[in-house]
Structures are given as C-alpha cells and as structure tokens.
Chain A
Amino acid sequence: MTKLLEWLLGVSLIGVAWGLVTFDLLDLQLPPKYRELAWPMPVYLLVAFGCYSLAAVSYRVATFNDCEDAAKELQAQIKEAKEDLKKKGLKM
C-alpha cells in the first residue's frame, strides 16, 4: 500500500468514526457530551498538528548544530594536503 493510500485509509476511518459519533448515524443514542466533544475534533486536531509542526521545526532550526570546529579542521587539513601533494609532485 502506498503512503497516499495509507493516509486516505486512516483519514477515512477517522472520518467515519467522527461522522458516526457527531451525527449519531447508528442511532446509538450517545450522551450529548460525546457529540459535543466530537463535533469540533477535526478542527482541533488540525490546529494542534499545525502548532506541533511550527514548534518542531522551530526547535530543530534553533538546535541545528553549527560545526565551527569541523570547518577549522578542514581548513588546516587543506593546507597540510596542499603542501604534502606539492612534495609528492602534484602540479596544481
């Protein structure tokens, strides 16, 4: 199953569950509290996911390692390499 199909399946299942509870499609006579809670759920979930996404990306950008030492080490090694290669006869 492709990821797209997995998503569609997941969304459909959640959609059906939501519809059943919110509109009482099976005539289960659920207490009104359940219906009131279920009704705005899709919007709540989308907003929650949006907030999570913003928070996650912001955190990851903020904690993205800056490899200062790696850059310095590379510069030093480049110098070393150039000298060594010259000795070995490389004509740049």
Chain B
Amino acid sequence: MASRRGNAKTGEQADKYSVLLPTYNERENLPLIVWLLVKYFGESGYNYEIIVIDDGSPDGTLQIAEQLQKIYGADKILLRPRAKKLGLGTAYIHGIKHASGNFIIIMDADLSHHPKFIPQFIEKQKEGGYDLVSGTRYRGDGGVYGWDLRRKLISRGANFITQVLLRPGASDLTGSFRLYKTEVLEKLVEQCVSKGYVFQMEMIVRARQLGYTVGEVPISFVDRVYGESKLGGNEIVSFLKGLLTLFATT
C-alpha cells in the first residue's frame, strides 16, 4: 500500500485525495454531495476519489451510488458497502483499506459540510505541512446556519468546557469535516475508543499527544436536518461522560 501512494501519478500531481463518505439513508443527498465534490475537485485540478461506505441503507442509497458510478466512472466513485449499520470508526478503517490516496478527507454526506472548502483544506495543509486540517465553525468566518439559540448555547458551552479541561490547541473539536494524511488517520483510528461526538474529539486530542500538527480552516455548517436530530439530555450526558473520560485518560 505504501508504494502505491508514494508513486508519482501520470497526472500533474503526486498527491491524491480520498474522500470517505459513510452513508446511511442518504438517497436524496448522495447525488448532490457527489456532484459538488466532482465540481470543486474538477475546478481545482487535484487528483481524487470518492469512497461511498453505505451501511445497508434500506432506502436504496446503494442503488443511487451505482448510478453515480456509471456517470462519473468507477475510478472516481468507489463503492465499499457494508451489511449493516456499524460505527463511524470502523467505517473509517474500512474506507482507509480501500483508499489509494495519500490524504483522506472525512465529511458528512448530508450537505452540512460543503465541498467548496476542500481546496482550502488542501492549500492549508500544503502551506504548513500539517498532519491534519480541521474545519472549524468557531473561528474566523466559520459559522452555522439553521441553529436556534438553544443549540448555539449548548454548542459553545460544551466547547468552552472542553477547551478548559483538555486545552486541545484546536477550536472545534466535535467537527467532523477534516483532512488527514492517510498514515496519520490510520494511526489515530487504531488508538481511539470513544463513540459519537467524543470520537471526533478524541482523534484531535490523541493527534496532539502523538505530536501531530493540526491546521484549521473556517467552514460554514448548514444544518438542514436539525429539526429531526434533537440534541437531547441523553446526548449531553454521554458527551460529558466521554469528555471526563478523555480528561482522566489523556
């Protein structure tokens, strides 16, 4: 695997970016996110592939993905489905195994993360030679759309507590729009044990522990499904539990 990534490609650049898209019931959004990825990668000229990791979606996401593969080519759209809904960490591990890029981009497939930021991630990474670049909603002109006061308060409050306790050197820890060097992502996923929001936090905390460098790019997060995904008491409790675990063990 290392030799595949190390070789200079016949294209202009040796760097290749593998986008991991774990999907579950994203029949509507998948074509749109793929279209946007193709658009922005095409315009920027970077070499890329999109790896769709569908966890047995009952709504036919995989069939839509197959159509997209016919339209854009099997070298650009890779399908690596799984039988049922398994965790995000294992989705990344699964995706990495099939990725031929020396960089991996992780993002949500529901259009809350916009591919227009990817060229900015890439440039930022080149600028500082960062091991990982994280999209932040909390700095610069980063931000959100579709959040009410309660959601914003919880988000900022949780982030504040996290900053005080973990001093992580990154402004947005629960974000999941990031660019990693492939070997860095591999190493980190191996080490991380948490789930959900805390998993993303743990990735950055461990990255800092292992001496990896983290760059940041402001992003806009457009939440279209907030009405359905409530940030309830349960999620807050499990977040705090996870945070305290990280506090005590890292």
Residues of A that sit less than 8 Å from B by CB: 2-4, 53, 56-57, 60-61, 64-68, 70-71, 74, 77-78, 81-82, 84-85, 88-92
Contacts and interface: CB of A to CB of B under 8 A. Distances in A.
B248 A4 contact: yes
Q: Is the interface of A mostly helix, strand, loop or mixed?
A: helix
B138 A60 contact: yes
A81 B35 contact: yes
Nearest to B142: A65
B250 to A, nearest CB: 6
Q: Which one of A65, A85, A90 has the greatest number of beta carbons of chain B within 10 Å?
A: A65
B157 A57 contact: yes
B28 to A, nearest CB: 8
A76 B250 CA distance: 44
Interface stretch (B13-21, B97-105, B143-151, B185-193): B143-151
Contacts of A53: 160, 164
Contact of B247 (A2, A77, A88, A91): A2
Nearest to B221: A67
Interface in B31-54: 31-32, 35-36
A8 B51 CA distance: 45
B8 to A, nearest CB: 31
Contacts of B222: 67, 70-71, 74
A53 B160 CA distance: 8
Contact of A90 (B68, B111, B153): B68
B182 to A, nearest CB: 28
A71 B160 CA distance: 26
B249 interface: yes
A92 B31 contact: yes
Contacts of A70: 114, 143, 145, 220, 222
B32 A78 contact: yes
A50 B165 CA distance: 14
B166 A3 contact: yes
Nearest to A88: B71
B85 interface: no
Contact of B144 (A64, A78, A88): A64
Q: Which one of A61, A67, A70 has the greatest number of beta carbons of chain B within 10 Å?
A: A67
A50 to B, nearest CB: 12
A4 B247 contact: yes
B67 A65 contact: no
A37 to B, nearest CB: 26
A91 B31 CA distance: 10
Nearest to B166: A3
Contacts of A67: 143-145, 220-222
A82 B144 contact: no
Contacts of B155: 64
A47 B147 CA distance: 31
Given A81-B36, A85-B71, A66 B31 contact: no
B38 to A, nearest CB: 10
A90 B32 contact: no
